[in-house]
A and B are shown apart, each in its own frame.
Chain A
Amino acid sequence: MPAVSMTVNGKKVSADVEPRTLLVHYLREHLGLTGTHVGCDTSQCGACVVHINGESVKSCTVLAAQAEGAKVTTIEGLADGDKLHPMQEAFREHHALQCGFCTPGMVMSAIDLVKKNKNPSEKEIREWLSGNLCRCTGYHNIVKAIAAAAQTMRG
C-alpha cells in the first residue's frame, strides 16, 4: 500500500492506504478527523467539503493520493483555539444548523464562496449552495448566516 502524505490543518501527516482510498476516508479513518461527514455516494450532498490548497472540494470525489503534498483544511482546523472562525460564529448566531451533520460541509463551502465573492447576494448564496444538501433548516438561516459572515469578513 502506498504511503500518502499531506499537510492537514497545518500538521504534516502520512498514512499507508489502498490506492482506491478516497480523501474523506483518509481523513476520517486514518487521521480520526470525523468532523468531515459522508452523506451520500454520488457526490451530491456536500457534507464532505474540505479545502484543498484553499479551494472547496468534495472530499468524496478525490482520491487521497490526488491530495499528495497538498494543504488540506477540515472543519477541525478552522477555529483559532477557542475562537470560532467568523463563518462558524455566524452559523451559531443565526441558528444555521440543527442536527449538525451537513454543517461542516456547509461552513467549508461558504468560506470559499465568500473568498471568491466578498459581497454575495441572496440569489448568489442560494445558487452557490446547490452542491450542499441540508434536510433540517430549509436553508433560510444558512443563507442569513453566510450573508452576515461575509459582512464580518469584509471588515
Chain B
Amino acid sequence: MSATGIGAPVRRIEDYRFLTGRGTYTDDLNQPNQAHAYILRSPHPHARIKGIKTAKAAKAKGVIAVLTGADVVKDDLGGLPCGWQVTDRHGKPMVEPPHPILVSDIARHVGDQVAVVIAETHQQARDAAELIEVDYQVLPSATSTAAAAKKGAALVWDQAPNNLCYDWILGDEQAANAAFAKAKHVAKVDIVNNRLIPNAMEPRAAVGVYDAAKDHYTLHTTSQNPHVIRLLMAAYVLKLPEHKVRVNAPDVGGAFGSKIFHYAEEAIVTWAAKKVRRPVRWTAERSESFMSDAHGRDHVTHAELAIDANGKFLAMKVYTIANMGAYLSTFAPCVPTYLYALLLAGTYTTPTIFCEVKAVFTNTVPVDAYRGAGRPEATYVVERIVDEAAKVTGIDAAEIRRRNFIPRDAFPYQTPVVVQYDSGDYQSTLDMALKQSDYAGFEKRRAESAKKGKLRGIGLSTYIEACGIAPSAVVGSVGARAGLYESALIRVHPTGSVTVLTGSHSHGQGHETTFAQLVSERMGVELKNIEVVHGDTDKIPFGMGTYGSRSLAVGGSAMVKAMDKIIAKGKKIAAHLLEAAEADIEFKDGTFSVAGTDKKKALAEIAGAAYVPHNYPINELEPGLEEQAFYDPSNFTFPGGCHVAEIEIDRDTGVVQLVNFVAVDDVGRVINPMIVEGQVHGGVAQGLGQALLEGCVYDADGQLITGSYMDYTMPRADHLPTLKVSTHNTLCTHNPLGVKGVGEVGAIGSPAAIMNAVHNALAPLGVREIQMPATPERVWRAIHGARRAAE
C-alpha cells in the first residue's frame, strides 16, 4: 500500500474549500439579473381548488409573474414521471396517477404546489404569495398508513379503490403455511417502521437559466443524479430534447436519497426562466423541506417466523402495508418491494419466505428512498423477529443467530427471495462485535445500572444489505424504467496529469479523494495530478448518479474499465516507441517497460507521444489518450455485519441513552478507511435517530405536526456516545475492485440493534413491543403501563 493509494486514510482533497467557506452550493450561485420564485403550497391535506385569484399578487411590488396550474395546462407540460412500475399479484400494473408540477384541480397533501410567484427579491415574492386568494373546498383526507386501505377511508385517487397502489407478493404462501404447520415455536411481531424526514442540512434549491440566443436551458440543482434529472425533466415534463438542457449539481450539502428524485421546483424554475426571460431561483425554507422533500420508511408490518425444536428457522411470513404518500415519487414503488422483500432472508438460511406488500396512497408527502431504502425496513423486521425467536425458544440472542447463519463456506448462496449472495462471513463479524462489546460481561453491567436505579439493555443486529445498484437487465425485468450502469471517462492530458469524469455524484461521500486514490494506485499518477469531476451534464458524458451505495462498486468499476483501455492503448504506443513487441510491454507504477530489460517510458511520455504523434503508429492507432467506459454490474453487492447496542433507561423520565455502540461491518475492499468509518458513524446516527428520536407525525385532520426542528427531533451531539467502528472484509467476487459499499450500512443495521437493546432492558418488566421512535414518553408509558398491569 502506498501512502496515497488503495487502503490509505488520505485526508480529503475537497475539504479545503468547505473549511474556508468556498464550497459552491446551489443557493450560492447568484446569476446576473436573477429573479426569485416563491411557491404557494396547499395548507390542506386534500382540497378541491375552486378558483385562484392572482390579480392582487401580480400587481404587488416587485412581482414579475404569477403562474398557476392553469399555465401548466396551457403550456402542455407533462407531470413528474415515476421510474419504476411494479406489477401486482394478479399481473396488473400498479395504479399510477398523474403528478403535476402545479396542481390545477385538487391539492392532495399539505405542501402540494399550487402557485408560483416570481419577483425581484425573495421577500417580495413571499409577500405577494400572501395576496393570492385560493378558494379551497376541503375534502376528507386519509393519512394513516394502517387505515388507508380500510373500509370508509377517504379516497386519495378515484382510480385507486381502497387507496391501493398495488398488492404485491413474493414467494409461496402455501409452502410457508406448510412449514409453519411443522413448527415447534412461532415468533410473531407487529411493528411500525416510522416515517422519517431525511433532513439533509442543505435545503433543496434550484436555479433555472434560459439563454434565448441559443434557445438553451440550464438548471442548477441540489441533485444526486443530474443526468437522470435532465432526462426526466426534458423528456417528460418540459418536452425538450436533452441537448438543449444542461443540468448542473454542484456541491450538494447532504442528500441521503432525498435528492435522487425529480421535484416539481426543478421543472418550475426552468420553465419560468424562459417565460420571464430571466434566471429564476428557488431555495426551500426548512419548513418547506418538511412538507415537500420525499419522506422515508412508513411501513406497518405483521411478521411470523416458524422455528423447529433446535432453534432453526423453517419459514417466515411478512405482511406489510407501505405508504406511498399522495403521488408516486421517482423510485417509490420499488422501495417496499424489490429493495425490501429481497432482503428478508437476512444472514440466515430460512428456506421459505413469503411476503405480501400493500402499497397505499395517502394525503401525505410522497415517500421514497431514504438512506437504506427498503433494506432498513427489512432488517428491522428480520432482526426484531429473530430476537423474538430467541425469547420464545429460550436460546440466547447471539446463539440463535449463529445456529441459523449462512455458513462462510456456503457462498455463492442462493436465497429463497431471488438474490444470490456472493460472499460474507457473518460468524466472524458477530464474534468480533461480541468481543468488542464485552457481550459476555453484560449482566454485570446490567446489575451495576440497576444499583443506580437504571434499566440496562443490550441488542444485536446481524444484518445484510444489497447495494451496488444494479444489474440493468435484472431490474428491468421487475419494472425499472432505467438502466443502472455507470460511466467514467479518464482523460490523460499531454503532460500526464489526469482528469476523471464520473457519472457518480458526491454530496458528502468524499469521491474526489477516494476516486483519485483509486486512479492514483492504478495509473501510478500522484494525487496532486488527478482531478475528479462530477455533477455537470455538459462535462460528464452520462451518468446514473449516486444512491444505493453504488458509486464505488459501479462507478469505480467503470473507472477501472476505462483505465484498462488507457493502459492497453499505452502499451501499443510504448511498444512502438521502445521497438518491442506489445506482448512484452509491462505497466507498473506509471511506467511502461519492456520485460526483462531497462527500456521504459513514463506515462507522461506516452501521453506526450499520443498528443504529438510525430513518432507514432498512426496507421493503427488514433492520437490522444482518453477513454470512456460504461460498467453494468452482474449482481448486487452484499455488505453485512454485526451491530451491538447497549442502552440505559432512566425509569423516572423514560429517556433512553445509547451508552455503547459497536459496529463490525463487511464492506468489501476499503479504499479509504477514514472515509469508511465516517460513513458508518453518520449512518449509525441516522439509525439512532430512527430508533429513539425521529418520527413524522400527521394529525387526524391530515396536518403535518412535525414541520420544523422545533418538533422533529434530530440527533444532536449529546445523543451519541463515541462509536466503536471497524471492518472485517470479504471481497465482492463479481466487480474488479472487490468492493461492496458502505454508505447505507450504518442506517440499515443500527435501528434493530438499538431497539433490541430497548426491548432487552424492558423485557423484565413485561413490556412486549415498543415502537420506534422509543421516545421518553413511549418508554415511560410502557414502564408504568407494565407496572400497573403487574399490580
**Which of B187-195, B197-205, B374-382, B783-791 touches A?**
B197-205
A122 vs B253: C-alpha distance when bound (angstroms):
26
Interface membership of B708, Cβ < 8 A: yes
Interface membership of B19, Cβ < 8 A: yes
Interface membership of A84, Cβ < 8 A: yes
Chain A residues, Cβ within 8 Å of B285 = 41
Interface membership of B684, Cβ < 8 A: yes
Interface membership of A40, Cβ < 8 A: yes
Task: Give the residue name and chain of the A residue nearest to B709 (CB).
Answer: A44
A140 close to B709 (CB less than 8 A): no
Could you tell me which residues of chain B, from 762 to 785, have a CB within 8 Å of some CB in chain A? none
Number of A-B contacts defined by CB within 8 Å: 182
The one of A103, A141, A142 that contacts B19, using a Cβ cutoff of 8 Å: A103
Chain B residues, Cβ within 8 Å of A102 = 201, 253
A92 close to B682 (CB less than 8 A): no
A138 close to B720 (CB less than 8 A): yes
**Which of A30-38, A51-59, A61-69 touches B?**
A30-38
Task: Give the residue name and chain of the B residue nearest to A107 (CB).
Answer: B19
Could you tell me which residues of chain A, from 74 to 112, have a CB within 8 Å of some CB in chain B? 74-76, 78-79, 84, 88, 91-93, 95, 97-104, 107
A139 vs B19: C-alpha distance when bound (angstroms):
16
Could you tell me which residues of chain A, from 102 to 141, have a CB within 8 Å of some CB in chain B? 102-104, 107, 122-123, 125-127, 129-130, 132-141
A100 close to B716 (CB less than 8 A): no
A93 vs B678: C-alpha distance when bound (angstroms):
13
Distance to closest chain A CB from B12 (angstroms):
7
Chain B residues, Cβ within 8 Å of A123 = 718
B254 close to A136 (CB less than 8 A): yes
Distance to closest chain B CB from A94 (angstroms):
9
Interface membership of B287, Cβ < 8 A: yes
Chain A residues, Cβ within 8 Å of B14 = 100
Chain A residues, Cβ within 8 Å of B675 = 95
Distance to closest chain A CB from B546 (angstroms):
12
Chain B residues, Cβ within 8 Å of A41 = 285-287, 708
Distance to closest chain A CB from B505 (angstroms):
12
Interface residues on B, range: 35 or more
Interface membership of B723, Cβ < 8 A: yes
Distance to closest chain A CB from B243 (angstroms):
31
A39 vs B18: C-alpha distance when bound (angstroms):
15
A45 vs B720: C-alpha distance when bound (angstroms):
17
Distance to closest chain B CB from A103 (angstroms):
5
A153 vs B336: C-alpha distance when bound (angstroms):
50
Chain B residues, Cβ within 8 Å of A20 = 123
A137 close to B678 (CB less than 8 A): yes
Interface membership of B507, Cβ < 8 A: yes
Distance to closest chain A CB from B450 (angstroms):
23
The one of A18, A39, A104, A141 that contacts B681, using a Cβ cutoff of 8 Å: A141
Interface membership of B28, Cβ < 8 A: yes
Report if A34-B678 is in contact (Cβ < 8 Å); known contacts: A40-B709, A98-B510, A142-B717.
no
A22 vs B708: C-alpha distance when bound (angstroms):
20
Interface membership of A148, Cβ < 8 A: no
Report if A88-B19 is in contact (Cβ < 8 Å); known contacts: A41-B285, A42-B708, A126-B717.
yes
B19 close to A84 (CB less than 8 A): yes
B718 close to A127 (CB less than 8 A): yes
A136 close to B123 (CB less than 8 A): no
The one of A93, A107, A142 that contacts B11, using a Cβ cutoff of 8 Å: A93
Could you tell me which residues of chain B, from 4 to 26, have a CB within 8 Å of some CB in chain A? 11-12, 14-25
Distance to closest chain B CB from A88 (angstroms):
4
Interface membership of B318, Cβ < 8 A: no
Chain A residues, Cβ within 8 Å of B710 = 42, 44
Interface membership of B508, Cβ < 8 A: yes
Chain B residues, Cβ within 8 Å of A95 = 11-12, 674-675, 677-678
Chain B residues, Cβ within 8 Å of A76 = 20-22
A29 vs B30: C-alpha distance when bound (angstroms):
9
A101 close to B201 (CB less than 8 A): yes
A129 close to B717 (CB less than 8 A): yes
Distance to closest chain B CB from A146 (angstroms):
10
Interface majority SS (helix, strand, loop, mixed), chain B: loop
The one of B23, B681, B709 that contacts A35, using a Cβ cutoff of 8 Å: B23
Interface membership of B757, Cβ < 8 A: no
A93 vs B252: C-alpha distance when bound (angstroms):
22
Report if A33-B18 is in contact (Cβ < 8 Å); known contacts: A42-B709, A101-B201, A101-B253.
no
Task: Give the residue name and chain of the B residue nearest to A122 (CB).
Answer: B722
Could you tell me which residues of chain B, from 135 to 177, have a CB within 8 Å of some CB in chain A? none
B723 close to A136 (CB less than 8 A): no
Interface membership of A143, Cβ < 8 A: yes
B722 close to A140 (CB less than 8 A): yes
A141 close to B678 (CB less than 8 A): yes
A143 close to B682 (CB less than 8 A): no
Task: Give the residue name and chain of the A residue nearest to B255 (CB).
Answer: A99
The one of B18, B19, B123 that contacts A18, using a Cβ cutoff of 8 Å: B123
B723 close to A138 (CB less than 8 A): yes
Chain A residues, Cβ within 8 Å of B201 = 37, 39, 45, 47, 99, 101-102, 133-136
Chain A residues, Cβ within 8 Å of B684 = 138
A10 vs B710: C-alpha distance when bound (angstroms):
35
A38 vs B204: C-alpha distance when bound (angstroms):
11
Chain A residues, Cβ within 8 Å of B20 = 35, 75-76, 78-79, 84, 88
Task: Give the residue name and chain of the B residue nearest to A84 (CB).
Answer: B19
Distance to closest chain A CB from B341 (angstroms):
28
A35 vs B24: C-alpha distance when bound (angstroms):
9
A32 close to B30 (CB less than 8 A): yes
The one of B17, B678, B709, B720 that contacts A98, using a Cβ cutoff of 8 Å: B678
Chain A residues, Cβ within 8 Å of B30 = 29, 32
Interface membership of B760, Cβ < 8 A: no
A19 vs B710: C-alpha distance when bound (angstroms):
26
The one of B12, B28, B510, B718 that contacts A126, using a Cβ cutoff of 8 Å: B718
Chain B residues, Cβ within 8 Å of A98 = 254, 508-510, 678, 682
A99 close to B708 (CB less than 8 A): no
A: residues with CB less than 8 A from B are: 18, 20, 28-29, 32-42, 44-45, 47, 74-76, 78-79, 84, 88, 91-93, 95, 97-104, 107, 122-123, 125-127, 129-130, 132-143
B: residues with CB less than 8 A from A are: 11-12, 14-25, 27-28, 30, 123, 199-203, 251-256, 283, 285-287, 507-510, 674-675, 677-678, 681-686, 708-710, 714-718, 720, 722-723, 746
Given contacts A39-B203, A125-B717, 6 further A-B contacts (CB under 8 A): A35-B20, A95-B677, A100-B18, A138-B681, A138-B746, A141-B681
5 A-B pairs closest in CB distance: A35-B21, A100-B18, A101-B253, A138-B685, A99-B508
